[in-house]
Chains A and B, each alone.
Chain A
């Protein structure tokens, strides 16, 4: 099966459990199981090529320019981990079906589980480190959902958050490390990176990259000092703990260290950091585990300890260490997942996980007892079980490892850790299952159904099988080791045997087991000693750090973000000016290359009007109507300026937009207060004036500076001028740019315009349905009303002018391609024509005569423009490729037909629709209860007031 499918199956499959939720719990679990099984079988189909030593690759270019490609690779290491993830995943799914109660939403659980599974498979099969990072973050997110699955438990939420913060922080660090690595090598493909050991290790950035990547690995794999999140994540349902925190997610860090082993390991830095962290974690967590009373907490710390052990083995940098690490990953996954599931069984049946309340379960739960005993003894390192073999290899490796120049240190600490490890294993068996049967269990314990005990039992079969016949696992582990080592080292010749002779490791092993038994004998005094000893509580420290960081952030951000727009505007303006000032001071300015053009008297006159109006606007802004008139003057002068500086299209657009904007603001001013009161202090006004003048000076300097200098590079405008007629078939270059060269831009812009209009419509609707409606209807006008609101002169004039204006709009539209004009301007002109009718003859009269809803006009415009673009697909061209031809229909002259005109029609309709919908929405607010809508164009109509006797009075609409 294709590697893509193996990775994609869990992700797509994650859609199913939610859908199957109502079909029952078994169906829900069944579909999840089937999805996983399919991926598992798919993985197995690749087994032959993996066994023959081939690397299966699958590749799809994603963003090649960034070096981000969807490249998957399946070698021995990837296969091993994928096998663990999918294989144990199957057992977990079966187990979870029986573990979760009826109150738990099973569809949700299995959706998260499959998402997690997909992300994990993605990590181990990625050949691109950027892709790997994406999957890495996905595991953090999906494990957050899984740990916090029991949302009603505060511990669950806190544990999930802590896990997310710790692993997420590590993930961020790792992104940095991976990017450095990619920069050093010049490729983000693992296969390339793994072949460049010397290049990477010689680079000065090797140490930062190493530390950042290790941060990611250590947080994920709960290495000291980041070990504390794992026990808190135990608030998750037990299937999650068994899956994530024994077999898969916490192994992701180990996987990455193994994957990067050929290029990162072997240096003193790697050895020091990784071995030390692993050793400390192993010993510390083993000691803590012994004194935990919660079954799952004990197992959690024991997991941390074993992860430390594997980390230490990877840290030694020898081929034998790597092989032992791989072997122990396999063994640990089998016995620890079995132990977690058994702990879940005990919890499920006895309703407690507190070891102090348990004991004597041997006779009550014989099946569980056998499973736990075998798995725990394997963890303790008892011969004939698989844990013994890899622990022996670990001790063997420890005897050859010298840390800090002290050859005894690593073996001694390894033995010490193993001693505690053996002790808590014995405690697990002894304090839970052995001893007298009690009569105060919270619930009467008994063995569960096969659905719960079979999955751990299957794992225990492996525990015993590998333990008795290690040669069965040997070829596979060596295959995995070979792919870990890459070409950097030979796979060790050592055979997997139960009996190696009287080697030091054997004596260390014996010492650990015997010491563990002795420690159990003095457990109670030791516990008292432990309880009396002061020890830091990781959760408290963690929360203090988080709180301190949050406080710091609050102190920094709150003064800047206090919710006041004015403050944001000031800070924003100052920041922009300061950035510009910095550039101005630190850069150099070239000498002017253009001469100043002489100012004509007309230009000076225009400038005076513009500046006068602007200054007047600022000074007299408290009178709102006056300021509206003044801003109209500013807009008018700007459009005249456009015309003056050879931009006829802009002048027309600005002029027409000015008209509708002023109408819009007048409509709004109808409701708003007519004066702005004096509120701000003089000081504040001086401050604002200072900011404003600084901003004005900055823009003036910038504009003046570049107006006197030519562009550094050749502007692409030359291309547009040269190709406008040849390629676009139009002589108005501005219009050709709009509808052809940059048609896609324009398409986006008419959509934005349409959305803005719809937004206004939606806001109006909301207002008119809410409590504001009553206020609007009963509003008393604050200004005297005109006696004749719809004067006859105006009505008659606008009706006469209407066809003329429409004609002008049509003309402007048609000539747009070759002369100033086009869809935008024509749309605005036609809008103004319609608005004139509204203003002259009243809202009701006009609305009754307009058949087309403006939403529809906007939609039609966007559709026409879009379909024009799509049309070019049918002739095999990209979206919005335009074409034109010249036709002659007698008796007319030859004329041009261009698809661009059709696109421009879309623009035209969108503009009309958007402008009209906005203005119409505003005027709907103005309708009031005390004024009935008049369906007559004029308020005074002699013919209406003296109706002919046979005329029927039309029924009046009620509001």
Chain B
């Protein structure tokens, strides 16, 4: 089970990184979302994996999962939604303003005219 979770984290990280390195905004945003999943799962897994023992107190139950990473990850999920929304908004604003969804500045090409020629 641990191997499954660890590989899942690794694959999501790799996929996220690859997409983050793309040149257009949309894949970069998706890549960051993938990285967010990976990080959240990673943080969650720091409480080690427990099956069938939720952090809800019950009489007679002695094994519980680690509640602290869960609490931290819960807020992280919500915050990452806010951050994704902001990044999407910025990307959208940039695209609408410049009609270009490149992540990096593009070198000026066509619109530089040689001097002296109108």
* Interfacial residues, chain A to chain B (CB-CB below 8 A): 563-567, 569-570, 573, 594, 596-600, 603-604, 607, 610-611, 614-615, 617-618, 621, 624, 627-628, 631, 634-635, 638, 641-642, 644-650, 653-654, 657, 660-661, 664-665, 668-669, 671-673, 676-677, 679-680, 688-689, 691-693, 695-704, 706-708, 710-711, 715-717, 720-721, 724-725, 731-734, 737-738, 742, 745-746, 749, 752-753, 756-757, 759-760, 763-764, 766-767, 770-772, 775-776, 818-820, 824, 828, 911, 914-915, 918, 921-922, 925
Q: Is the CB of B45 within 8 A of A772?
A: no
CA distance A645 to B43 in the complex (A): 13
Residues of B within 8 A of A703 (CB): 5-6, 9-10, 42, 45
Residues of A within 8 A of B6 (CB): 700-701, 703-704, 707
Residues of A within 8 A of B15 (CB): 614-615, 617-618, 692, 696
Residues of B within 8 A of A706 (CB): 45-46
The interface residues of chain B, by DSSP majority, are classed as helix
Kindly supply a per-residue 1/0 record for chain B positions 66-95, scoring 1 wherever the CB is within 8 Å of any chain A CB and 0 otherwise: 111011011101111111111011111101
- Which of these, B67, B74, B104, contacts A824 with CB under 8 Å? B74
- Which of these, B51, B82, B95, contacts A597 with CB under 8 Å? B51
CB of B83 to closest CB in A, whole Å: 6
Q: Is the CB of B54 within 8 A of A664?
A: no
For the A-B complex with A599-B4, A921-B89 known, give 9 more contacts whose Cβ atoms are closer than 8 Å.
Answer: A564-B104, A597-B51, A621-B30, A653-B78, A669-B26, A692-B16, A698-B13, A707-B48, A752-B82
CA distance A610 to B9 in the complex (A): 10
Q: Chain B residue with minimal CB distance to A670?
A: B92
Q: Chain B residue with minimal CB distance to A700?
A: B10
Q: Chain B residue with minimal CB distance to A914?
A: B82
Known: A615-B11, A757-B85. A647 touches B2 (CB 8 A): no
Residues of A within 8 A of B73 (CB): 647, 650
Q: Chain B residue with minimal CB distance to A660?
A: B81
Known: A657-B77, A689-B18. A918 touches B7 (CB 8 A): no
CA distance A906 to B53 in the complex (A): 29
CA distance A705 to B28 in the complex (A): 29
Q: Is the CB of A653 within 8 A of B74?
A: yes
CA distance A707 to B96 in the complex (A): 45
The interface residues of chain A, by DSSP majority, are classed as helix
CA distance A635 to B1 in the complex (A): 19
Instruction: Identify the 9 closest CB pairs spanning chains A and B, nearest first.
Output: A696-B14, A700-B10, A756-B82, A704-B6, A692-B18, A737-B71, A733-B67, A692-B17, A731-B57
Q: Is the CB of B10 within 8 A of A820?
A: no
Q: Is the CB of B5 within 8 A of A760?
A: no
- Which of these, B21, B56, B64, B80, contacts A691 with CB under 8 Å? B21
Q: Chain B residue with minimal CB distance to A697?
A: B10
Task: Enumerate 13 A-B pairs (CB-CB under 8 Å) in ascending A order.
Answer: A618-B19, A634-B34, A634-B37, A647-B44, A671-B92, A672-B26, A699-B38, A703-B5, A707-B5, A707-B48, A752-B79, A756-B82, A764-B89
Residues of B within 8 A of A647 (CB): 44, 54-55, 65, 70, 73
CA distance A570 to B18 in the complex (A): 10
Q: How many A-B residue pairs have CB under 8 A?
A: 314
- Which of these, A563, A737, A772, contacts B68 with CB under 8 Å? A737
Residues of B within 8 A of A704 (CB): 2-3, 6-7
Residues of B within 8 A of A614 (CB): 11-12, 15, 34
CA distance A700 to B9 in the complex (A): 6
- Which of these, A615, A657, A676, A752, contacts B24 with CB under 8 Å? A676
Q: Is the CB of B67 within 8 A of A720?
A: yes
- Which of these, B8, B34, B44, B81, contacts A657 with CB under 8 Å? B81
CA distance A611 to B40 in the complex (A): 16
Q: Is the CB of B75 within 8 A of A824?
A: yes
CB of B54 to closest CB in A, whole Å: 5
Q: Is the CB of A563 within 8 A of B33?
A: no
Q: Is the CB of A650 within 8 A of B70?
A: yes
Q: Is the CB of B103 within 8 A of A664?
A: no
Residues of A within 8 A of B113 (CB): none
Q: Is the CB of A688 within 8 A of B18?
A: yes
Residues of B within 8 A of A756 (CB): 79, 82-83, 85-86
Q: Is the CB of A753 within 8 A of B84?
A: no
Residues of B within 8 A of A634 (CB): 12, 34, 37
- Which of these, A624, A692, A701, contacts B26 with CB under 8 Å? A624
Q: Chain A residue with minimal CB distance to B88?
A: A668
CA distance A745 to B19 in the complex (A): 31
Q: Is the CB of B51 within 8 A of A645?
A: yes
CB of B22 to closest CB in A, whole Å: 7
Residues of A within 8 A of B77 (CB): 650, 653-654, 657
CB of A914 to closest CB in B, whole Å: 6
CB of B28 to closest CB in A, whole Å: 8
Q: Is the CB of B37 within 8 A of A695?
A: no
CA distance A599 to B6 in the complex (A): 13
CB of A674 to closest CB in B, whole Å: 9
Residues of B within 8 A of A725 (CB): 57
CB of A943 to closest CB in B, whole Å: 38
CB of B17 to closest CB in A, whole Å: 4
Residues of A within 8 A of B105 (CB): 563-564
Q: Is the CB of B56 within 8 A of A732?
A: yes
Quick one: which of A596, A644, A756 has the most chain B CB within 10 A? Answer: A756
Q: Is the CB of B95 within 8 A of A671?
A: yes
CB of A706 to closest CB in B, whole Å: 7
Q: Chain A residue with minimal CB distance to B1?
A: A597
Q: Is the CB of A734 within 8 A of B74?
A: yes
- Which of these, A691, A753, A757, contacts B17 with CB under 8 Å? A691
Q: Chain B residue with minimal CB distance to A598?
A: B1
Residues of A within 8 A of B56 (CB): 648, 731-733, 818-820
CA distance A628 to B33 in the complex (A): 11
Q: Is the CB of B13 within 8 A of A732?
A: no
Q: Is the CB of B104 within 8 A of A565?
A: yes
Q: Is the CB of B89 within 8 A of A922?
A: yes
Question: Is B52 at the interface (CB under 8 A from chain A)?
Answer: yes
Q: Is the CB of B91 within 8 A of A668?
A: yes
CB of B68 to closest CB in A, whole Å: 5
Q: Is the CB of A715 within 8 A of B86?
A: no
CA distance A800 to B1 in the complex (A): 42
Q: Chain A residue with minimal CB distance to B19?
A: A621
Residues of A within 8 A of B21 (CB): 566, 569-570, 688, 691-692
CB of A705 to closest CB in B, whole Å: 8
Known: A614-B15, A692-B15, A721-B67. A621 touches B44 (CB 8 A): no
Known: A645-B49, A925-B92. A749 touches B75 (CB 8 A): yes
CB of B46 to closest CB in A, whole Å: 7
Q: Is the CB of B10 within 8 A of A696?
A: yes
Q: Is the CB of B2 within 8 A of A596?
A: yes
Residues of A within 8 A of B37 (CB): 634-635, 638
Q: Is the CB of A646 within 8 A of B50?
A: yes
Q: Is the CB of B8 within 8 A of A617?
A: no
